[in-house]
Structure 1
């Protein structure tokens, strides 16, 4: 029997599909979702949004504000309010996103260093002795956190 742990990701599904392709039966594979015990994790340390999400949100906010100015200007300009509104929205998004990312990279590095722990999955595979090395190779190839064997 082989026991392996993964972070919850698409690699787990890909590894299981490859195992089935090389001849490990589906009934010989069992997956168990592990509990992270979220009570002991300080929620205030991980409550900050993702860098790109925060920059995108700020970019959208500045795009909205700039589009209002662009539409207002468009009523007196040559191309009209629609074109000027779209141009101002694009420029506002680019400016807001870029400024936010620059500020994050220079001033807020320590805030975003906390990595949220993803839930882990334990995969138990009952296979023949002659397939041990193939199964282990597939598990390591698809980024297993750890792989162990039980020889019965």
Structure 2
């Protein structure tokens, strides 16, 4: 039989291991696996398979439409005409909206995301069926996040 437990990375893991050894579980029957935290890079554009809910082009399209309209209106009075000024307004509006949204997302991520994510430790304990209730109780008392049993 195997008992599998998940712990947050803290001193409770060490205390649980010590208590298990005091209650007759051998050291070579315990495996502790610390998980490494993985930092996912920030994505500017959403893809079909991954979306974080931040549309970076929405503001750009809105500002592009407004600037294109203003460029076409005032292009009648300006030298190059309404079509060229409409295209200039479209490109500058999309660029400005993208830059504003990108800087906003960067600032928001810097302010509100935790600097370091806590990782977990997975314990795998080989034991007999008689030891399972005692091991489960020790792990629960030392704040295990989850417990599971694997029968062979």
TM-score normalised by structure 2 residue count: 0.51
Contact kept in structure 2, 1:46 and 1:116, CA below 8 Å: no
Deviations 1:16-69 (A, max 9, x none): 000000000000000111122212579966756xxxxxxxxxxxxxxxxxxxxx
Q: Summarize deviations over 1:102-151 as a string: whole Å, max 9, x none.
A: xxxxxxxxx59x59531111000001110001001111110111010001
| Aligned equivalent of 1:126 | 126
Maintained 8 Å contact 1:28/1:127? yes
Superposed counterparts of 1:1-150, under 5 Å: 1-40=2-41, 117-150=117-150
Query: Take 1:133 and 1:39, find their aligned partners in 2: how far apart are those partners?
Result: 39
**Which structure has more helix as a fraction of its residues?**
1
Using structure 1 for the length normalisation, give the TM-score: 0.51
Instruction: Indicate the structure (1 or 2) with the bigger Cα radius of gyration.
Output: 2
Change beyond 3 A, Cα 1:44–1:20: farther
The match for 1:108 is none
In 2: Cα distance, 1:145 partner to 1:38 partner: 22
Measured against aligned partners, the alpha-carbon deviations of 1:80-120 in whole angstroms (never above 9, x if no partner) come to xxxxxxxxxxxxxxxxxxxxxxxxxxxxxxx59x5953111
Q: Aligned to 2:123, what secondary structure does the other structure show?
A: strand
Aligned length: 89
